[in-house]
Amino acid sequence: MSAAAQRVAAAAMHAGTSGPDPAPLDASSIRVEFPILWQSVHGKPLVYLDNAATTQKPACVLDAVDAYYRCDNANVHRAVHTLSERATVAFEQARAQVARFVGARDSSEIVFTRGATEALNLVASSYGDMVLRESDEVVLTEMEHHSNIVPWQMACARTGATLRVVPIDDRGELDIEAFGNLLGPRTRIVAVTHVSNALGTVNPVAELVAMAHAAGAKVVVDGAQALPHASVDVAALDCDFYAFSGHKVYAPMGVGALYAKRELLDAMPPWQGGGDMILSVTFEKTLYNVPPYKFEAGTPDVGGAVGLGAALAWLESLGIERVAAHENDLMAYAQQALLGVAGLRVVGTAARKAGVHSFMLEGIHPHDVGTILDHQGVAIRTGHHCAQPVMQHFGIAATARASFAVYNTREDVDRLVDGLHEVKEVFG
Ligand code: C6P
């Protein structure tokens, strides 16, 4: 049994009885658990700093998916044969793991989706179409990812409701007073990101939820960039919906989840029709299944869900508080180190940030920065990060973005900074 597997097994055995090891994380030993990071790119050891786009997968997640397909693969909830029963148990255990990880009261509050985008579209289509009328308003923020803008624009186009946008300031922080002023009797839905993927800003979600609830609105939180970096407790936040993607929390691509309060899922109509979301079908009438199945039409990504369960168990075995402490340290170290690069401006200087530093190098296009860094073996993302309104706020088309995960080290930050000096020399 690998060290990671032993840790996961121990964490599962002691769940609820003892916390994880309080010692700081040793990121270099965690890195060993990620086979993809053992390679060189352009002759240099790979430094992967594009974790906000997608994280790499530890061996225990790869093994869990591999074992599922080698031993248990079958369609779920459909057959009485042994493999189908095993696949169904694995799928539902993964759902229970997700529920536990985000602090849901019950597994039935977790709907598996393809990712955050599909989860947000589900809410906008099902809940949005159910409640929105012509005089209603949906409040968003200027720092949303397109996945938490476009579904609401589409819902407003269908229902005649209006979008209202909370501005950000030049540090990339939300204007809370403006948010309060936008809330009113017409506000039905507030859709807000927990952490901005373009700026790293951490929003005070519990405070925003309390304000929105006082105005009678429901709150949809885009947690895609929050879940990998800090402990999330949907019951404590009291949000109505929470969406996230598995591939940003060390799980495979193509799977994610929507948390929603059970009473909302009960009231909402299904958004896609097909297998598993029904109890019975005749040509005259279809009876729908109970939540969460009512929202899971068609064969789900069972292998992906198994991988997601394994990834969250792995994170739990590390201790999410220790993960957050390690990453906060790395963010602070990177911020200082980047300040030492002449002509570099950090875009997004909020007091509370997680996971991401976006920046510009004076006179050099971010794509050139990214290309030259790649030749140094350093992977970052450049572009608008699917957050064009953020770029418009700062009057730029793109940024370079370094984003961090639990396996990154101070040495990785040093390699990034060395690479940036190289970029400056090339453009000298
Ligand atoms: N952000 C990034 O590089 P999907 O594609 O469904 O897994 O996640 C969409 C999404 C939603 N909300 C936020 C805050 C996000 O950051 C993302 C994905 C990636 O920043 C790809 S654009």
Q: Are residues 305 and 323 in the same domain?
A: no
Instruction: Give residue 39's identity as a one-letter amino acid code.
Output: Q
pLDDT of residue 14: 52
Backbone φ and ψ of 349, nearest 5°: -125, 40
CATH code for the domain of 242: 3.40.640.10
Q: Which of 132, 249, 247 minimizes the C-alpha distance to 188?
A: 132
With bands split at pLDDT 50, 70 and 90, how would you rate the model's confidence at 16?
very low
With bands split at pLDDT 50, 70 and 90, how would you rate the model's confidence at 202?
very high
Q: Are residues 307 and 380 in the same domain?
A: no
pLDDT of residue 79: 83
Q: Are residues 122 and 269 in the same domain?
A: yes
Q: Is the CB of 225 under 6 A from ligand 1?
A: yes
CATH code for the domain of 335: 3.90.1150.10
Domain, as residue range, for 127: 63-316
Q: Is the CB of 67 under 6 A from ligand 1?
A: no
With bands split at pLDDT 50, 70 and 90, how would you rate the model's confidence at 91?
very high
pLDDT digits (tens, 9 = 90+) for 128-156: 999 999 999 999 999 999 999 999 999 99
For residue 12, tell me if it sits in a domain: no
Q: Give percent helix, percent strand, percent coil of the chain, each to the nearest 5.
A: 45, 20, 35
Q: Is the CB of 194 under 6 A from ligand 1?
A: no
| Alpha carbon distance 163, 190 (integer Å) | 10
pLDDT of residue 298: 96
Q: Is the CB of 141 under 6 A from ligand 1?
A: no
Q: How many CB atoms lie within 10 A of CB 288?
A: 16
Q: Which residue has the tokens 């299944």?
A: 289
Average pLDDT in the 12-31 region? Answer: 71
The residues with which 47 forms a beta bridge, in sequence order, are 378
Task: Please name the residue whose Cα sits nearest to atom 3 of ligand 1.
Answer: 53
Domain boundary at 299, 316, 333, which?
316
Q: Is the CB of 245 under 6 A from ligand 1?
A: yes
Ligand 1 center–CA 244 separation, angstroms: 9
Average pLDDT in the 196-208 region? Answer: 98
Q: Are residues 266 and 299 in the same domain?
A: yes
Q: Are residues 309 and 333 in the same domain?
A: no
Q: Are residues 113 and 240 in the same domain?
A: yes
Q: Are residues 34 and 138 in the same domain?
A: no
- DSSP symbol at 308: H
Q: How many CB atoms lie within 10 A of CB 279?
A: 11
For residue 11, tell me if it sits in a domain: no
> At residue 295, does pLDDT exceed 50?
yes
For residue 10, tell me if it sits in a domain: no
Domain boundary at 296, 316, 336, which?
316
Instruction: Give residue 343's identity as a one-letter amino acid code.
Output: G
> At residue 19, does pLDDT exceed 60?
no
pLDDT > 90: percent of the chain: 93
Ligand 1 center–CA 53 separation, angstroms: 7
For residue 102, tell me if it sits in a domain: yes
Count of domains for the chain: 2
Q: Are residues 334 and 408 in the same domain?
A: yes
Q: How many CB atoms lie within 10 A of CB 417?
A: 19
pLDDT of residue 7: 61
Q: Which of 306, 384, 349 minimizes the C-alpha distance to 98?
A: 306
386 catalytically annotated: yes
| Alpha carbon distance 84, 414 (integer Å) | 50
Q: Are residues 172 and 209 in the same domain?
A: yes
With bands split at pLDDT 50, 70 and 90, how would you rate the model's confidence at 18?
very low
> At residue 243, does pLDDT exceed 60?
yes
Q: Which of 112, 79, 78, 116 minimizes the C-alpha distance to 93?
A: 112
For residue 358, tell me if it sits in a domain: yes
Average pLDDT in the 392-400 region? Answer: 98
Q: Are residues 365 and 271 in the same domain?
A: no
> At residue 3, does pLDDT exceed 70?
no
Catalytic residue, chosen from 60, 156, 239, 386, is 386
Q: Are residues 47 and 163 in the same domain?
A: no
